[in-house]
Amino acid sequence: MSNALPKIAWIGLGIMGSPMSENLIKAGYDVTGFTLEQDKLDRLTAAGGTAAGSIAEAVRDADVIVTMVPASPQVEAISYGPDGILENARSGALLIDMSSITPQTSVDLAKAAQDKGIRVLDAPVSGGEAGAIEAVLSIMVGGEQADFDLAKPILEALGKTIVLCGPHGSGQTVKAANQLIVAVNIQACAEAVVFLEKSGVDLKAALDVLNGGLAGSTVLTRKKDNFLARDFKPGFRIDLHHKDMGIVTDAARNVGAALPVGAVVAQLVASLRAQGDGGLDHSALLRAVERLSGAQV
């Protein structure tokens, strides 16, 4: 590894975090990771990274700290307090939070970090597990231009579309809009699948031709096989999309933006979760449409 590359601490090694951290190792970065599950730490070391015993140990010597955890409470838990990032990272370090959280949480974190001499970017991603594995994520960033410029080579090892969207919190606002579009798109695809099947059409042929026209989308490309096989192994869980729909509907209310279709889909996601499907992939919205259409699933 080149000595010119910054040392990276990675906090959070879940469905997204594990393959993303491994892509940084493949790119030549020295990555020290921490998460609560020992098997995830073992996976990191097997890939060439270093496992830390605590957040403090992971971040102490890091030039850049990357976090990828489920929601705002987890970001706050790992960032604040005597054992958190802000108390243990060195002054001048760059914290890149790639979690999907509320814009206000990102703004508050950046302000608190500034008091410690730590720079922050909010940099949530879109692309799901497949995008993380293939390093083709879309990364929407909020923060200062100079910090974005410093982070960009690191982000380029993780994604293909990397854009500074504005000041702190802007990345999270754009991610919220992303999750709105994805949820509505999946719901529309799910309704089309049920309509097509009940009409007796060859579903695979129908989805192939639809995806070649204006109805085509990345969602349909990525989720077509899930629909066909009824394979809802989580790439992005309903539980997390439920959290994200709460973020976007709350943020929209705060700025006075009406989301009539989004509000309905948010309720459909919540309904699916209430029926016990929160751990499934968000393509399982198909199950909710099937139930509404009389199927026993």
Active site (catalytic) residues: 175
At 88, list the tokens.
Answer: 């243990």
Bridge partners of 21?
A: none
* Degrees to nearest 5, angle at CA 98 with 93 and 104: 90
Amino acid in position 185: N
Which one, of 210, 36, 127, lies nearest residue 140 by Cα?
127
Sign (positive or negative) of CA dihedral 78, 84, 86, 90: negative
Query: DSSP letters along 196-237, please?
Result: HHHTT--HHHHHHHHHTSTT--HHHHHHHHHHHHT----SSB
Which one, of 237, 236, 292, 247, lies nearest residue 268 by Cα?
292
CA dist list (Å): 25 to 38, 53, 225, 296: 19, 19, 30, 46
Amino acid in position 265: V
Which one, of 65, 74, 78, 81, lies nearest residue 32 by Cα?
65
CB contact at 8 A, 102 and 251: yes
Q: What is the DSSP letter of 118?
A: -
Q: Is 168 exposed, middle or buried (0-12, 13-18, 19+ CB in 10 A)?
A: buried
DSSP H or E run through 31: strand 31-34
Which one, of 68, 69, 62, lies nearest residue 118 by Cα?
62
